[in-house]
Amino acid sequence: MAKLFGKEYSKKEFLKKTGNLSQIGGMKEYTFNSGRARGVDAIDVNAGDLQFTVLNSRCLDIGQANFEGLPFGYISKSGLRAPEYFVENKGKGFLDSFYGGLLTTSGLNNIGSDCAIDGRGYGVHGEIANIPAEMVAKREYWEDDELHFEITGKIRHSRFYAEDLVMERKIKTSLGSNKINIIDTIENRDFTRVPVMLLYHINLGFPFLDSQSELIIPNLEKSWARTDSAKKGLKDFNTFCDPVDGIEEECFYHTINSPDEKAAICLFNPQLGEKGMGVYLKYDTKQLPVFLQWKMMRSREYVCGFAPATTYAEGRQNALAKNESMFIEPMEKKRFEIEIGITKNRLSY
Q: What is the CATH number of the domain that holds 339?
A: 2.70.98.10
Mean pLDDT, residues 129-133: 97
Q: Tell me whether residue 323 is in a domain.
A: yes
Please, which pLDDT band fits residue 99 given cuts at 50, 70 and 90?
Answer: very high
Question: What integer pLDDT is reported at residue 26 of this predicted model?
Answer: 97
Mean pLDDT, residues 229-253: 97
Please, which pLDDT band fits residue 348 given cuts at 50, 70 and 90?
Answer: confident
Mean pLDDT, residues 312-341: 97
Mean pLDDT, residues 19-28: 96
Mean pLDDT, residues 124-131: 96
Question: What integer pLDDT is reported at residue 88 of this predicted model?
Answer: 82
Angstrom distance (rounded) from CA 91 to CA 110: 12
Q: Tell me whether residue 325 is in a domain.
A: yes
Q: Tell me whether residue 191 is in a domain.
A: yes
Mean pLDDT, residues 151-171: 96
Question: What integer pLDDT is reported at residue 87 of this predicted model?
Answer: 87
Angstrom distance (rounded) from CA 203 to CA 319: 24
CA distances from 330 to 153, 164, 188, 309, 348 (A): 21, 10, 5, 22, 41
> In percent, how much of the chain has pLDDT > 90?
95
The rounded Cα 269 to chain-centroid distance in angstroms is 20
Q: Which of 113, 105, 133, 138 is nearest to 340 (CA)?
A: 105
Q: What are phi and psi of 204, to 5 degrees?
A: -110, 135
Question: What integer pLDDT is reported at residue 329 of this predicted model?
Answer: 98
Question: What integer pLDDT is reported at residue 347 of this predicted model?
Answer: 81
Please, which pLDDT band fits residue 93 given cuts at 50, 70 and 90?
Answer: confident
Angstrom distance (rounded) from CA 200 to CA 283: 11
Whether the per-residue pLDDT at 160 is higher than 90: the answer is yes
Question: What integer pLDDT is reported at residue 203 of this predicted model?
Answer: 98
Q: Tell me whether residue 55 is in a domain.
A: yes
**Average pLDDT of the chain, as a whole number:** 96
Whether the per-residue pLDDT at 90 is higher than 90: the answer is no
Q: Which structural domain, as residue segments, surrounds residue 291?
A: 2-343
Question: What integer pLDDT is reported at residue 92 of this predicted model?
Answer: 82
Question: Using one digit for the tens of pLDDT, what is the confidence trace for 307-325?
Answer: 999 999 999 999 999 999 9
Strand blocks (E) in 47-133: 50-55, 61-67, 70-71, 74-75, 100-101, 103-108, 115-117, 120-122
Query: pTM surpassing 0.75?
Result: yes
Whether the per-residue pLDDT at 71 is higher than 90: the answer is yes
Q: Tell me whether residue 349 is in a domain.
A: no
Q: Which of 117, 79, 160, 129 is nearest to 320 (CA)?
A: 117
| Domains: count for the chain | 1
> In percent, how much of the chain has pLDDT > 70?
100
Mean pLDDT, residues 274-284: 97
Q: Tell me whether residue 348 is in a domain.
A: no
